[in-house]
């Protein structure tokens, strides 16, 4: 995260925070549609800077992902440069018609940057064919090629960045068995010469964490692989990695645990706290008492390393909530180059978390590293199959990954339920 980005964001963020709170105060005194719309616009402004906050919160994991994407982009660019050269040797280049080479170089570099021989070739053609123009293909338009930008326009893909929060393990087996204490004994007092009896109750068990398979299958024609200006194999690999991350993020939140990872919201042992109203995270008085009760229902040992998770819509609601003493629980930390906080604890946006609604669980809180373990068996594997679709002129790319995850210590986290 460049320091400049943080400095540039401080003033607009703090200004938006002040406007949010002053507008919210007016709205609390006298509910008004105009004020509600203004609050929504201010929240949208703050959302624009949430990317900085997320990077501050998940700095290590985000930086690794950025480095990986950069290396992949560099590889694509290097491939494009190889394609643009046509793979020609110096001997072949010497046989290229000087005029044709001058046309291409004039388009790429500009006429002032051409060599003397290339400029003369262009000038001689211009002098001879005054009537040629680029607007008509047959009158010279074919000789003015378009530039292909070596970058594909892609919309952002939303995914829940859970990996930096949980414990991630590598395994070479089909499952992980984690020993777990399932019962404890109670200590007893004994008199000076009293008889000591066995303190029963200490028991152990195993948490079995299976790894299951993710897959993606894409067919690409041989001619597409040969003629495309992009390294299509690298492109498919990048797309598969992205979609695997999307799927895993959704499963971390609400996976069934049957043939796929188990979600924090579907585990039956993760306790919940009611918000106080039937359809929102606020209590009956419009305050954040439900959220605060949720926080203090988690043991102190877990609260020391706790994080909030919710989606962006829910975050917008939290920004307007106060505690029982009239203090806002959401605080901007960007002026100190620190993450924003909710009642002093950092938060992470997870798009797969549900929004507010009757019976929904829009917020979770706790020490996710203690609560959840993720296992990677095969991080990414690509099989290039030129045979199965050979009769159709296609090459089949099969991408696969083996991973799994589940809640291993449910008491370390807790979820908020929209309910009275």
Could you tell me if residue 56 is inside a domain?
no
Please give the pLDDT value at position 258: 95
How many structural domains compose the chain? Answer: 3
Residue 171 lies in a domain: yes
Q: Residue 372: inside a domain, yes or no?
A: yes
Please check whether residues 216 and 285 belong to one and the same domain: yes
Assess whether 197 and 105 both reside in one domain.
no
In a domain, 59, yes or no: no
* Helix H or strand E encompassing 112: none
The answer to the question of residue 380 being in a domain is yes
Model confidence at 55: pLDDT above 80: no
Write the pLDDT tens digit of every residue in 263-295.
999 999 999 999 999 999 999 999 999 999 999
Q: What is the pLDDT of residues 359-418, one digit of tens each?
A: 999 999 999 999 999 999 999 999 999 999 999 999 999 999 999 999 999 999 999 999
Torsion sign over Cα 282, 288, 289, 295? positive
- Cα–Cα distance between 311 and 147 in angstroms, integer? 40
Residues 307 and 351 in one domain: yes
pLDDT in tens, 224-234: 999 998 999 99
Same-domain pairing of 214 and 198: yes
303 shares a domain with 240: yes
Does residue 13 sit in the same domain as residue 118? no
Same-domain pairing of 111 and 201: no
Q: Where is the domain boundary, 123, 141, 159?
A: 159
60 in any annotated domain: no
In this prediction the pTM is: 0.76
120-174: pLDDT as tens digits = 877 776 665 556 677 777 777 777 888 888 888 999 899 999 999 999 999 999 9
How confident is the model at residue 107, as a pLDDT? Answer: 67
Specify whether 179 is located in the same domain as 128: no
Give pLDDT tens digits for 13-30: 888 888 888 888 888 888
> Which residue among 111, 141, 159 closes a domain?
159
Sheet containing 272-274: which strands, arranged edge to edge? 272-274, 413-417, 363-366, 307-310, 345-349, 341-342, 330-331
* One domain for residues 168 and 31: no
Q: How confident is the model at residue 12 (pLDDT cuts 50, 70, 90)?
A: confident
Distance of CA 123 to the CA centre of its chain: 54
Which residues have a Cβ under 8 Å from the Cβ of 125 and sit 6 or more positions away? 99, 132
Q: Residue 220 falls within a domain, yes or no?
A: yes
For all residues of the chain together, what is the average pLDDT? 86
DSSP string, 178-200: EEEEEE--------TTPPP----
For residue 231, what are its two tokens? 């390294």
**CATH code assigned at 278:** 3.30.2400.10
* Residue 25 pLDDT: 85
Same domain for 348 and 315: yes
Q: What is the structure's pLDDT at 135?
A: 74
- Which is higher by pLDDT, 44 or 301? 301
Enclosing domain of residue 135? 96-159
- Mark which of 139, 159, 179 sits at the end of a domain: 159
Q: By the 8 A CB rule, do 404 and 350 touch?
A: no
For residues 208 and 53, the model is more confident at 208
Q: Any idea how long the chain is? A: 420
Residue 299 has pLDDT above 50, yes or no: yes
Q: Is residue 61 part of a domain?
A: no
* Phi and psi, residue 280, nearest 5°: -135, 170
Do residue 295 and residue 220 come from a single domain? yes
- Kindly state whether residues 41 and 76 are assigned to the same domain: no
């Amino acid at each position: 995260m460049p320091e400049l980005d943080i400095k540039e964001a401080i003033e607009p963020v703090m200004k938006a925070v002040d406007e949010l709170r002053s507008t919210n105060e007016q709205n609390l005194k006298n509910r008004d549609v105009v004020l509600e719309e203004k609050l929504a616009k201010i929240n949208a402004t703050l959302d624009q800077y949430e990317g900085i906050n997320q990077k501050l919160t998940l700095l290590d994991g985000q930086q690794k992902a950025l480095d990986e994407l950069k290396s992949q982009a560099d590889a694509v660019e290097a491939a494009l440069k190889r394609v643009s050269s046509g793979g020609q040797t110096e001997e072949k280049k010497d046989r290229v018609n000087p005029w044709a080479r001058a046309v291409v170089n004039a388009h790429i570099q500009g006429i002032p940057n051409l060599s003397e021989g290339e400029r003369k070739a262009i000038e001689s053609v211009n002098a001879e064919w005054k009537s040629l123009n680029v607007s008509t293909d047959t009158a010279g338009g074919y000789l003015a090629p378009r530039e292909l930008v070596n970058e594909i326009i892609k919309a952002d893909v939303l995914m829940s960045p859970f990996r930096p929060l949980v414990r991630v393990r590598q395994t070479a087996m089909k499952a992980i068995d984690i020993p777990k204490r399932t019962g404890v004994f109670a200590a007893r007092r004994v008199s000076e010469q009293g008889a000591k009896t066995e303190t029963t109750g200490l028991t152990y068990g195993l948490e079995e964490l299976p790894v299951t398979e993710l897959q993606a299958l894409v067919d690409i024609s041989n001619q597409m692989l040969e003629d495309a200006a992009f390294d299509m194999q690298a492109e498919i690999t990048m797309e598969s990695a992205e979609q695997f991350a999307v799927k895993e993020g959704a499963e971390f939140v609400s996976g069934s645990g049957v043939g796929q990872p188990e979600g924090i919201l579907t585990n039956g042992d993760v306790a919940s706290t009611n918000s106080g109203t039937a359809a929102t995270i606020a209590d009956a008085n419009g305050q954040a008492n439900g959220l605060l009760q949720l926080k203090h229902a988690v043991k102190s040992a877990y609260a020391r390393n706790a994080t909030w998770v919710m989606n962006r819509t829910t975050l917008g609601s939290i920004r307007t909530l106060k505690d029982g003493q009239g203090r806002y629980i959401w605080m901007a930390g960007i002026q100190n180059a620190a993450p924003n906080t909710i009642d002093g604890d950092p938060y992470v946006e997870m798009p797969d978390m549900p929004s507010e609604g009757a019976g929904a669980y829009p917020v979770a809180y706790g020490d996710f590293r203690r609560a959840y373990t993720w296992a990677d068996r095969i991080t990414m594997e690509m099989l290039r199959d030129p045979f199965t679709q050979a009769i159709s002129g296609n090459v089949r790319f099969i991408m696969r990954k083996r991973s799994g995850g589940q809640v291993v210590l449910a008491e370390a986290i807790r979820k908020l339920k929209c309910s009275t």
